[in-house]
Amino acid sequence: MTKEDFERLLDSVVATLRDEARKAPFSAAQQFEDRVREVVKNTIADPSIKIDFDPNPQAFPDIAIGEFGIEVKFTTNDTWRSVANSVLETNRIKEVKTVYIVFGKMGGKPDVNWGEYEKCVMHVRTSHVPRFEVEIGADKSLFELMGISYDNFRMSEMHEKMRYIRQYARGRLKDGERLWWLEDTDGEDHTLPIQARLFTKLSSEEKTRLRAVVMTLDNQEAFTDR
């Protein structure tokens, strides 16, 4: 199956789902994802292509079809924007080379659309584990803004990814704004220990300090994502 063939398949799948959503909007993400699988299976002409109806829930993307994949997004809000997967892509299905999004938007006038994943990634959230944000119809992709292709970015080591993320985040700061985690530092310069430790084994003082750090990160995230 070529890229053009797969995109024609997506056109048919989305047309069916859009008609169904406008007759009776989908009410939950899992219901929509299950229906995407069913429609994809029914639309594929080649009987040798199998769709996994019981995949690893952490797998990325949600549906693998040879070297192509579909990441399913769903919202009951009137928006084409959603939080996506971690920049680590730890659970990426190795066989998948090109990922697409099938997005069900049930807010406002119910609609379903698709987009190529790398073109839809338009932001990265930076609190806790960095996560992509996607938007159908985004004006510019995050990877264009960072000056690196999606494939080169996803195959980079995490410290290399963070260099691009820091540069991107710096470019979004207004005069007088600062984020403590933006500086490129070696392990010995961190104010918090690098090694993993169980939270339940920490002292009360350390627990309190870490909770304060998490709250600060959340506040900074909200502030810089305006």
DSSP secondary structure letter of residue 60: B
Q: Quick check: 98 pLDDT over 90?
A: yes
Task: Return the exposure string of 152-164: e unless at least 16 CB atoms fall within 10 Å of the residue's CB, then b.
Answer: ebbeeeeeebbeb
More confident residue, 127 or 77: 77
Per-residue confidence (pLDDT) for residue 65, from 0 to 100: 96
Amino acid at 107: G
Give the tokens for residue 184: 């490129």
**Cα angle vertex 126, ends 124, 107, to 5°?**
55
Q: What's the whole-number mean pLDDT along residues 60-66? A: 96
Does residue 61 have a cis bond before it (omega within 30 degrees)?
A: yes
Question: In this structure, are residues 103 and 18 in contact, taking their beta carbons and an 8 Å threshold?
Answer: no
| Average pLDDT of the chain to the nearest whole number | 86
CB 105 within 8 A of CB 113: yes
What distance in Å separates the CA atoms of residue 108 and residue 145, rounded to the nearest whole number? 30
Return d(Cα 2, Cα 164) in angstroms, integer.
32
Residue with tokens 């924007």: 81
CA–CA separation, 104 and 118 (whole Å): 18
Give percent above pLDDT 70 in the chain: 80
Global confidence as pTM? 0.78
Per the CB < 8 A criterion, the answer to whether 86 and 77 are in contact is: no
Q: Is the pLDDT of residue 223 over 60?
A: no
- DSSP-assigned letters across all residues of 77-113: SS-SEEEEEETT-TTB-TT--EEEEEEEE-SSS-EEE
Q: For 5-61, how does the pLDDT look when each residue is reduced to its tens digit (9 = 90+)? A: 999 999 999 999 999 999 999 999 999 999 999 999 999 988 889 999 999 989 999
pLDDT at 79 over 90: yes
